[in-house]
Amino acid sequence: MGLLENKFTDNIIVEKLDKLLSWSRSTSPWFFQFGTACCAIEMMAAAASRHDLMRIGIIPRSSPRQADVMIVAGTVTMKMALRVKKLYEQMADPKYVVAMGSCATSGGPYWQHGYHVLKGVDIVIPVDVYVPGCPPRPEALIEGLLKLQEQILEERPLTRKTG
Amino acid sequence: MYRDFGTVLFAVMLGIVMVAIPLVISWLIAPSNKTKDKLDTYECGEEAEGSAWLQFNIRFYIIALIFLIFDVEVVFLFPWAVVFKEMGLLALIEMGIFLLILIAGLAYVWVKSDLDWVKRKVKYGGGRYKSLTATTED
Amino acid sequence: MGVVHGQEMVLNIGPQHPATHGVLRLQVKTDGEIISEITPYMGYLHRCFEKHCENVTYEQVIPFTDRCDYLASMTMNFGYVVAMEQLMEIKVNDRVEYIRVIMAELQRIASHLLGIGAFGLDLGAFTPFLHMLRDRERILDIFEMTCGARLLYNYMWVGGLSHDLPTGFVEATLNFLDYFEPKVDEFENLLGHNKIFVERTADIGTMPAEVAINYGVTGPNLRGSGVKWDLRKDDPYSIYDRFDFNVPVGKGIKGTVGDCWDRFYVRIEEIRESVKIVRQAIDQLPKDGDVHQSMPKKIRPPKGSIYRRTESPRGDLGYYIESDGSDTPYRLKMRSPAFTALSVLNEIGAGWLMSDVLGILGSLDIVLGEIDR
Amino acid sequence: MSEDKEKIISEAVEKALQGDMDAINNIEDRVTRSKAKAALVKAKRAKVVNDKDSIKEDNTSESKVEEKINFNQTVCQKISEKFPESIDAEQNDDWIQLKPENWLKVAKWLRSDEKLYFDSLQCNTGMDLGEGVLESRYNLHSMKHLHKVEIRIKVSAEKPDIPSVEQVWRVADWFERETYDMFGINFIGHRDLRRILLPDDWEGWPLRKDYEEQETYHGIVVPKVKEGWE
């Protein structure tokens, strides 16, 4: 953890610093293009000209080193699960995960007979926001990302976690 | 006359400070957990096989050398070009000799065929890549 | 100065890569610049499609066929439905046939638009990608108007369609076609005749015709190599024989026959042909006829097997259906055109530079959902 | 109002047939203009069709059906003449049942024979017929003669060996690897027969009827039931 991370008891100064810090982290999360299946096409459509994601400042990055949010778009299979875990580890902190589509949330339409399908990506990596739909519309993905931004705003990185 | 060196010093100091501030802040507050996986080389999600420290083809090194020489030559040209007008004909001749020597160097490198690149061997070449089609024996 | 060959390093253009159109891992032997061997690894998106088909009824298979080739799900439904109707000897009325052809050709335009856009993206041209996706969105609006979904439609059922055409469909499609026709020339000039694009694709990744046939490559990749083979004409199904359209073939305009530019050129021409087909189909569209007319109550095909091929935007899409008389398929195998297109990558890609290999992969226009099934 | 629209369209099409396209382009209302364009294409097509007699076109389709059935027979006889003992016992007119032994020789002959010239293997399907019988079906097709045939080879599940036709049709390389991956039929003579879709350390052959999913894969629960779901 950083030098001053989680060290301070909660008081007025630290609370204001927290607000500044979490605001700076939430403004424009660059997302890590992790499209595997049909949801990747909807993610592309969200990033393309009509539902422009870049007007919210969310820019697609293709390497985990430069990304804040990993959007798991599409079915994650067993063979891919080990790679997802590795890629999540290689992302720079602070990092968040959006599970886009019902395949990433719970295995989707392949949960019953999919011997090779991972039943939900939260078995392997911690997920912050689940976006339902198969595939979810680009507007649903944008709403999911905005929900993630609200969630980041409430974070308290500096105060010591009590209990 | 030495007074204006102060501004240069100030500019350098300002540069150092402006870089140091974000680094210190991020050292203080940025979360950093250096797990083994994170420090692994990123290879599109796979374990990287083999090491990157292996013997590269020599042509990359030679091209880097040749580039360095001619880059330094251009660096010498800049100050000369700035004050060229006051110095008159003599400076032109001197710089001409300097350039001639380097052109002789270039000719030497060209003749020794250091500049021609390793050609690709393509199975189904066509059109302008016809010459690169791999003949059957190699 | 003897040529000192450096050691070969093994790189992974791995499962997570912007240029691999999904989760495909190319293990590449290279000396830093020239790629000597490519071995593709697949299976990162194997979603057990065929195992599902053995456990769900015939109607429930249709949403799964959608999700195999998610860029052209109308043509996937079309292929499955044509195979089933031939197995059960169902004859659908003309209105259903015409609507199916209109939908399949619109889907072909949308799929080619994204295929060409992604191909340009792999070579670094970002703006054509945005232009093409903007026009693709207009097609998705038309699909959404008819079947409510943007990407995976479950629209064509065995023996008919799920919904009839909404009012205003004909005007919307005609408006789109009139808007879209000049745009195709704009794309061709914007991307096709751009000096850098031509320099990066002409004469690169040439695939001779025998190699294409031997590797089972089909569709625009095969036509790019000069073989005039289009299932809509050579193995006609549905009512494609009532339309007047020609099959574009690679002629080596900018380079040799069968190079990346030819595959791009064939796709642009195919978009124009599809526009012509949709125009004629709308003109001959019969007004009457119920789309649920010949839909069987309970789908129980007779015991037996069938292999039927249709032309999807990526090539020969074959369905091998074995039924044992019950209401769930005994075995269903989908022959995926992108699967064979990828198998030829090592043959035509070995020996090229790193950036050319990614261009060749982009020109093959593969979709991983269909390869891994 | 609509009949004068028809009149505009018809005389615009006449003028367009003589060659000046602007008659159509200057119709200002968009829907009629596109209708005129479609009518023009239809008129051109009608001109082409009546010089090619269309009666020939529909009688070839009936003859095609009978010809397909006895075509299978003809191929079957040709194979039995050339390779006497390779034909399996029960025959059917839709496909040819072969014994696995000299399938490679039959394949090479089918490929090289001038009259048959099956140069493209369309699809190879693995099949589990129950009671320990596996089957590999090949749909062959000739680009030149446009005829197709289906060949089936039955093997027992204990000794599932079929000679690989990977040298004959390069497409069989990946098709056979997938059939091996899903059914466990190993193809003798295949240069690198390994799993193509599933990870290499996956146990079992998924598409066999008697396949149960393995409990965990690298510590990840495979079956669909996750604790706390029900």
DSSP D169-198: -TTHHHHHHHHHHHH--EEET-TT---SSS
Number of neighbours of residue C19 by Cβ within 10 angstroms: 19
Widest distance between CA atoms in chain A? 55
D72-86 residue pLDDT tens: 778 888 888 888 777
How long, in residues, is chain B? 138
Q: Is B63 inside any structural domain?
A: yes
User: Percent of chain A scored above 70 by pLDDT?
Assistant: 98
What does R_g of chain D's alpha carbons equal in angstroms? 28
Taking CB atoms and an 8 Å limit, are A112 and D217 in contact across chains? no
How many angstroms from the chain centroid is the CA of residue B118?
20
Record: contact B123-C350, CB cut-off 8 A: yes
Token pair recorded at residue D83: 């390779």
pLDDT at D36: 65
Residue B37: partners with Cβ closer than 8 Å, 6 or more residues away: A85, A86, A89, A90
The token pair that represents D205 in the structure block? 């052959």
Under a CB-based contact definition with an 8 Å cutoff, are residues A161 and A6 in contact? Answer: yes
Question: With an 8 Å Cβ cutoff, are C70 and A37 in contact?
Answer: yes
The SS3 assignment for D117 reads coil
Domain assignments of chain C as residue spans, ordered by start: 9-372
Q: Which domains, from first to last, does chain A contain?
A: 29-153 (3.40.50.12280)
Determine the angle formed by the axes of helices A138-153 and A12-26, rounding to 10 degrees. 160
3.40.50.970, 3.40.190.10, 1.10.10.10, 1.10.645.10: which CATH number matches C9-372?
Answer: 1.10.645.10
- Tell me if C152 and A50 make a contact (CB, 8 A cut-off): no
Q: Fill in the DSSP letter of residue A92.
A: P
Beta bridge partners of C306: C321
Residues composing chain C: 373
**How far apart are alpha carbons C138 and C152 in whole angstroms?**
16
Q: Give the nearest partner residue to B46 out of A21, A65, A83, using CB atoms.
A: A83
What local confidence, expressed as pLDDT, does residue D25 receive? 60
Chain CA centroid to CA D144, Å: 16
Query: b vs e for D173-205, b when ≥16 Cβ sit within 10 Å of the residue's Cβ?
Result: bbbbbbbbbbbbbbbeebeebebbbbbeebeeb
Strand extents, DSSP E, C204-355: 304-312, 315-323, 331-335
pLDDT band with cut points at 50, 70 and 90 for residue B19: very high
Stated as kind and residue range, the H or E segment containing B81 is helix B58-82
Query: pLDDT value at position C317?
Result: 93
Residues of chain C with pLDDT under 50: 1-3
B68 within domain boundaries: yes
Q: Does the beta-carbon distance from D173 to C343 stay under 8 Å?
A: yes
- For chain C, give the longest Cα–Cα distance: 80
Residue keyed to tokens 């064509």: C156
Determine the pLDDT at residue C86.
92
Domains and CATH numbers, chain D: 2-51 (no CATH), 60-212 (3.30.460.80)
DSSP C189: I
Instruction: State which residue of chain A sits closest to B32, comparing Cα positions.
Output: A1
Please give the pLDDT value at position D28: 61
Identify the domain containing residue B108 by its residue range: 57-117
Phi-psi sector, C296: left (phi>0), alpha (psi -120 to 50), beta: beta
- Mark out chain B residues that contact chain A at CB-CB < 8 A: 27-33, 35, 37-38, 40, 42, 45-47
Phi, psi of A46 (to 5 degrees): -70, -35
- D-side interface with C, Cβ within 8 Å? 30-31, 33-35, 37-39, 41-42, 44-45, 48, 94, 119-123, 125-128, 137, 139, 143, 146, 150, 169-171, 173-174, 182, 195-199, 206-207
Torsion of CA C8, D177, C15, A118, to 10 degrees: -150
Q: How confident is the model at residue D103 (pLDDT cuts 50, 70, 90)?
A: confident
Burial class of residue C144 (count of CB atoms within 10 Å of its CB; 0-12, 13-18, 19+): middle
- The DSSP code sequence of B29-76 is HS-----HHHHS--STTSPPPS-S-S---HHHHHHHHHHHHHHHHHHH
- Cα gap C361→C132, rounded to integer Å: 19
Total length of chain A: 163
pLDDT at residue C274, rounded to an integer: 94
Count of structural domains, chain B: 1
Q: Percentage of residues in chain B with pLDDT exceeding 90? A: 35
Q: Which site among C44, C48, C323, C334 would you substitute to test the D interface, given the most D Cβ atoms closer than 10 Å to its Cβ?
A: C48
pLDDT at D43 over 70: no
Q: Locate the chain D residue with the closest alpha carbon to C278.
A: D38
- Chain C interface mutation, best of B120, B133, B136, highest count of C Cβ atoms under 10 Å: B120
Task: Give the pLDDT of residue C130.
Answer: 92
Number of A/D CB contacts below 8 angstroms equals 30
Contact between C261 and C253 under an 8 Å Cβ cutoff? The reply is yes
Q: Considering CB atoms only, which of A114, A115, A124 is closest to D220?
A: A124
The mean per-residue pLDDT over the stretch A103-122 comes to 88
Residue D59 has pLDDT above 50, yes or no: no
Can you give the pLDDT at residue C248?
93
Decide: C154 and C77 in contact? Cβ < 8 Å.
yes
Residue with tokens 């060290």: A7
pLDDT at B87 over 60: yes
In a domain, B92, yes or no: yes
Determine how many CB atoms are found less than 10 A away from the CB of residue C351: 21
| Ramachandran class of A150: left when φ > 0, alpha when ψ lies in -120 to 50, beta otherwise | alpha
Q: What are phi and psi of C296, to 5 degrees?
A: -65, 145
Place of tokens 């009629």: D32
Task: Report the candidate in A62, D9, D81, A41 with the shortest Cα–Cα distance to residue C370.
Answer: A41
Q: Could you tell me if residue B2 is inside a domain?
A: no
Displacement of CA C33 from its chain's centroid (Å): 31
Q: Is any Cβ of chain A less than 8 angstroms from the Cβ of C283? A: no
Specify the pLDDT at position D72: 78
In this prediction, residue D223 has a pLDDT band, given cuts at 50, 70 and 90, of: low
At residue D105, the pLDDT reads 87
Report phi then psi at C147, rounded to 5: -120, 10
Is residue B8 situated within a structural domain?
no
Mean pLDDT, rounded, for D34-40: 67
Restricting to A residues 96-135, those with a Cβ less than 8 Å away from any Cβ of C are 109-110, 112-117, 134-135
pLDDT in tens, D120-179: 899 999 999 888 889 999 999 888 888 888 888 988 888 888 999 988 888 999 999 999
Query: Could you tell me the two tokens for B132?
Result: 């690169």
Which SS3 state, helix, strand or coil, does residue A21 take? helix
HSE (side-chain half, CA atoms, 13 Å) at C256: 16
pLDDT value, residue C172: 94
Please state, in angstroms and rounded to a whole number, the distance separating the CA atoms of residues D138 and D115: 19
Residues in chain D: 230
β-pairing, A69-73 vs A31-35, is parallel
Question: End-to-end alpha-carbon separation of chain D, Å?
Answer: 66
Question: Is B91 a domain residue?
Answer: yes
Q: Which residue has the tokens 């450096």?
A: C6
Option in B49, B55, B123 nearest C10 (CB): B49
Task: Please give the average per-residue pLDDT across B133-137, as a whole number.
Answer: 56
Q: Which residue has the higher pLDDT, D50 or C136?
A: C136
Q: How far apart are CA D109 and CA A134, in angstroms?
A: 49
Cβ(D144)–Cβ(C228) under 8 Å? no
Question: Is residue C157 helix, strand or coil?
Answer: strand
Q: How much is the pLDDT for D98?
A: 86
State if pTM tops 0.90: no
For residue A153, give how far its alpha carbon lies from the nearest alpha carbon of chain C (Å).
30
Q: What is the ipTM of this complex?
A: 0.87
